[in-house]
Amino acid sequence: MLGEDRLERFARHIVLPEVGGAGQAALAGKHLVLVGLGGIGSPALQYLAAAGIGKLTLVDDDKVDASNLQRQTLYNERDIGHGKAVSAKRWVKLFDPLLEVEISDRRIDAARAATLVEGADLVLDGTDNFATRLAVSDACVKASVPLLSAAVGRFQGQVGAFAGHLPDEACYRCFVGDAFDADDCDTCAEDGMLGAMAGWVATFASLHAIRVLLDGSSAYGDPQWSRVNLLDGMKPGMRQFTIAKDPECKGCSNSGGQ
């Protein structure tokens, strides 16, 4: 049950028939792990916290830089030089003290990824290198935790929902393959990025996270597993396609039914 103060805070959600009081109460009981607190994770966190998701684990080993402020809306000039995870937790606790927040400010490897995702209801990955993304994806499959993967660059973005632990659903590794098990992807420092594009991808990812977390609790719940949404900031426009489960995938091919 939600207290009177929470009913007032989330009134605009509760009056939506697709969410309602049951949906809002469900969000309050969920645990989301947010990996990466940069261009995607920063604005996404603001809407995830505003949605009343009860427990948030925030993961980032980086510090705030002046160049981040063009798109990472969570931070201000006083945060420059400070750790993103600590700064993000401070923001959440000032925004909504009733939310439970844990942080990790160490770089992720396969072992740490397994520890971080264990027991979560959903992982949202907005990191900027494939090695981390694949380590998180593999950990999610092993722990039977669904994954939302969001990426952005220049004027393009993508958000995909993966549940590779399910027999007929793809994981993120099914999508990108094994060739990217290294820190080798381009960065926005090299290619550039429209700040508002990062915000669009982040808010879309937040919207989809709420849909996943409400699955089974309200009419809005619809995970859309194995589907990737492409966001085009130049046209602008969107399109969606489906990823087939790879029977040879080393991340999820033997996970079905575990």
User: How does DSSP classify residue 181?
Assistant: -
Active-site residue numbers? 188
- The runs of H, that is alpha helices, within the chain are 4-9, 11-14, 20-28, 41-50, 84-95, 110-117, 130-143, 172-176, 188-191, 195-213
User: At 28, which amino acid appears?
Assistant: A
Count the Cβ atoms, other than its own, within 10 Å of residue 250: 14
Q: What Å distances lie between residue 15 and 137, 213, 236, 255, CA to CA?
A: 35, 18, 31, 40
Given a contact cutoff of 8 angstroms between Cβ atoms, the answer to whether 128 and 191 are in contact is no
DSSP assignment of 74-118 equals T--GGGTTSBHHHHHHHHHHHH-TTSEEEEE-S---HHHHHHHHT
